[in-house]
Amino acid sequence: MARLANQRHELFCQGIAQGKSATQAYIDAGYSKKGADVSASRLLGNASVMLRVEELREKVEKKNELTLDWLIQQGKEMYQESREARDRTAAASFYDKLCKIRGAYSPERHEHDVSVSGIDIDFIEPDDEN
């Protein structure tokens, strides 16, 4: 969908997509403060406005996307670098962060057997410790 022909409607949609309240987006688009609550609500009900807001929100999400897979991959790489440097503290820290990303410490979960594939936390033998 292209930009809306009505410039105020387009500005309103952009404000909503940026996270502004409907009333504030309405006022920022150049409309009067008087009756802005009711008018903004009515404008949000407009089919073309709803479609444009959804399209803009999707663009914002894609632009700012950090996927869980990307975060896990970055954590694994940092863990492996720490492991190769035999830095137990850093490796344990990255492993802990990976577990948090995977939900091991969420309040809804009480089990702590979450594994992160491809990671071996027992990389230093007891004989290696000083």
- Does the structural domain 7-63 have CATH classification 2.40.128? no
Tell me the domain boundaries of the chain: 7-63, 68-128
Element (H, E) at 93: helix 88-102
Tell me the whole-structure pTM to 2 decimals.
Answer: 0.51
Span 32-60, pLDDT tens digits: 999 999 999 999 999 999 999 999 988 87
What value does the mean pLDDT take over residues 79-94? 83
- Residue 65, token pair as written in the block: 């996307």
